[in-house]
Structure 1
């Protein structure tokens, strides 16, 4: 839990440093961060945020999500947004970004409830599909992996809405490139459940009067993460490319020399 950085306006903000790589080195702190949406950062939060020396905010949300809850503009920080979910896929499943006919709420789960999402889809199946496709030929992650190789763009914060799905995949790809094991990546991924447990339980309690049992189970699946989701990422990578090294090289141009350079920049003994 020492990864978590407490803010009033976010719930899942973390420094990705501290994880051990398979060769025994450790990811440096203060270079790579992950978070949920940033629109509610308070004045106190902004002072603490600036102290982190973040130079780049990379946003995985689509245009509608970002318009509804915009990122703060901070002097000296570059804001980059590139949706991690293809437009056709997002519209097909009626994700919150495609809810312009509905009045948007303060929480994406409420938006999904209002859209009828949980009456139409089984959340676990949907999420498994999203994860299985996310890491292959995705322009958003290609841009991310280019940015982390640029020293002047670090510290880099990547985020989406809840900081668990799109951000979870992005975090996994960064840690893979740095030589962190799949087991440790899974630990980082599942940490969301621990961090968000109290808040998510409160959301379920509030929604229990509005939804039937099946819909409530769907909401519970959508609020959390499961090993099967990240396993779907690893499986799709290996099925497509045969292994992690070939994936990083062919998908992102991260061959041996570039990976060594990246690791020298982001790792310590």
Structure 2
């Protein structure tokens, strides 16, 4: 069984359905989909996602990212704009020229990504946005509709959202981490197409930085986990105290989204 939903012009579009839980149940398919940007969907892609049951799209990108590359609509779905950060802290959406300037100004790609993952936990604004994310998933949990949530690469803001959902649904930590790291495999073809023409003209330090920014690294997610332990004590406490997701809401999600 594959998690990948194969589309013509969108990468890293994946089912969370099919994962086994530690309770002996399975996450339902056609309910939760994580994705990279969907601004280049073809008519065929739009039809695939509509037929898949997508009736809600949650866009985690910043205002600037969404304005620069608006989502292609899915006929059956309402669009919900929910920027995790007011400005894109991941630097994934930067042009090579802008990234080069940031590096020349002294920024370090790996340290920036670690800071991003701490901000998922430490930023009041980010926590409010992830709380709203849970509200939308809860609202759409009953019935046949599927929620698709995405950012630009579908690995950081989306990856952390998937991590939280899978934890609530009692998926084993090793499986959650495997789902997070699978981005590296599913983004590879798109990255090769996008960056291969640049390899001969960009300096090595810039190519290295791009590789870091476009990778899902275990050390990045570990930054979030360390921040959770430091500020809340556990992921369960982060969910209940940091996001305000109640035990009753978590039980409802489990009842609706697993079988």
**Taking structure 2 as the reference length, what is the TM-score of the superposition?**
0.89
Distance in 1 (alpha carbons) for counterparts of 2:40 and 2:196: 23
Match of 1:195 among 172, 186, 197: 186
What is the alpha-carbon distance in structure 2 between the residues aligned to residue 86 and residue 68 of structure 1? 15
| Equivalent residue runs for 1:13-52 within 5 Å | 13-52=13-52
Q: State the shift of 1:135 in Å.
A: 3.2
1:72-130 C-alpha deviation (Å, 9 max, x unpaired): 3334411111211244xx4xx6947xxxxxxxxxxx35x14345234332211100000
Query: Structure 1 residues 137-146 or 52-61, which shifts more?
Result: 137-146
CA contact (8 A) 1:119 1:215 kept: no
Quote the residue 2:7 is aligned against. 7
- How do residues 114-263 of structure 1 correspond to structure 2 at under 5 angstroms? 114-115=98-99, 116-120=101-105, 121-136=107-122, 137=124, 138=126, 139-150=128-139, 151=141, 154-263=145-254
Find the aligned partners of 2:222 and 2:38 in 1 and give their Cα distance.
28
The total of aligned residue pairs comes to: 252
Q: Which runs of 5+ in 2 are unaligned?
A: none
Give the direction of change, closer, same or farther, for the CA distance of 1:117–1:37 in structure 2 (3 Å limit): same
CA distance in 2, matches of 1:158, 1:59: 6
How far apart are residue 218 of structure 1 and its match?
A: 0.7
Q: Does 1:267 align with 2:258?
A: yes
Aligned-pair CA distance for 1:228: 0.5
Instruction: Answer whether contact 2:36 2:152 (CA < 8 A) is retained.
Output: yes
Q: 1:94/1:10 Cα in 2 relative to 1: closer, same or farther (>3 Å)? A: closer
Once residues 128 and 94 of structure 1 are traced to their aligned partners in structure 2, the CA distance between those partners, rounded to angstroms, is 10
Structure 2 counterparts to residues 65-144 of structure 1, below 5 A:
65-87=65-87, 90=88, 95=91, 108=93, 111-115=95-99, 116-120=101-105, 121-136=107-122, 137=124, 138=126, 139-144=128-133
Measured against aligned partners, the alpha-carbon deviations of 1:217-259 in whole angstroms (never above 9, x if no partner) come to 1111112111001111112112111112222111233333322
TM-score, reference length from structure 1 = 0.86
Q: Do 1:135 and 1:141's aligned partners in 2 also have CA atoms closer than 8 Å?
A: no
Q: Structure 1, residues 126-170: CA drift from partner, whole Å, max 9, x if none?
A: 000001111343222111111111236941110011111111111
Contact 1:204 1:220 in 2 (8 A): no
